[in-house]
Amino acid sequence: MNYSGLAEKTVQTLDCIAQEGAKEIAAAFDLATRTNYIHLVSTFYHYSAPGETQLLRAAEAAPTNAMKMLYIHLARDEADHDILAIRDLKALGYKLEPESKLTAGYHAYWSNFSDEKVIEYLGMNVVIEYLISYLNSCAKTMRERLKLKAEECTWLQLHCEEDEQHGEAAVKCVKEHINERFADLMIKGGMGDKRRFVSMFIDALQNNASLNPL
Domain boundaries, the chain: 3-205
If you average pLDDT over residues 147-162, what whole number do you get? 96
Percentage of residues of the chain with pLDDT beyond 90 = 97
pLDDT tens readout for residues 92-117: 999 999 999 999 999 999 999 999 99
If you average pLDDT over residues 190-207, what whole number do you get? 98
Quick one: pLDDT at residue 15? 98
pLDDT band, residue 159 (cuts 50/70/90): very high
Instruction: Residue 10: name the closest of 165, 127, 113 by CA.
Output: 127
Residue 50: is it exposed, middle or buried by C-beta count within 10 angstroms (0-12/13-18/19+)? middle
Quick one: pLDDT at residue 136? 96
Quick one: pLDDT at residue 4? 86
If you average pLDDT over residues 180-184, what whole number do you get? 97
Quick one: pLDDT at residue 3? 84
pLDDT of 2 strictly over 90: no
Give the CATH fold of the 3-205 domain.
Heme Oxygenase; Chain A (1.20.910)
What b/e sequence results for 57-89 when a residue is b if at least 16 CB atoms lie within 10 Å of its CB, and e otherwise? bbbebbeeeebbebbbbbbebbeebbebbbebb
If you average pLDDT over residues 159-164, what whole number do you get? 92
Q: Where are the alpha helices (DSSP H) in 93-135?
A: 101-109, 117-133
Q: How far apart are the first and last CA of the chain?
A: 60
Percentage of residues of the chain with pLDDT beyond 70 = 100
Instruction: Residue 40: name the closest of 196, 206, 197 by CA.
Output: 206
If you average pLDDT over residues 149-176, what whole number do you get? 96
If you average pLDDT over residues 77-85, what whole number do you get? 94
Quick one: pLDDT at residue 1? 61
Arithmetic mean of pLDDT over the chain: 97
Please count the residues of the chain: 214
pLDDT tens readout for residues 130-150: 999 999 999 999 999 999 999
pLDDT of 64 strictly over 70: yes
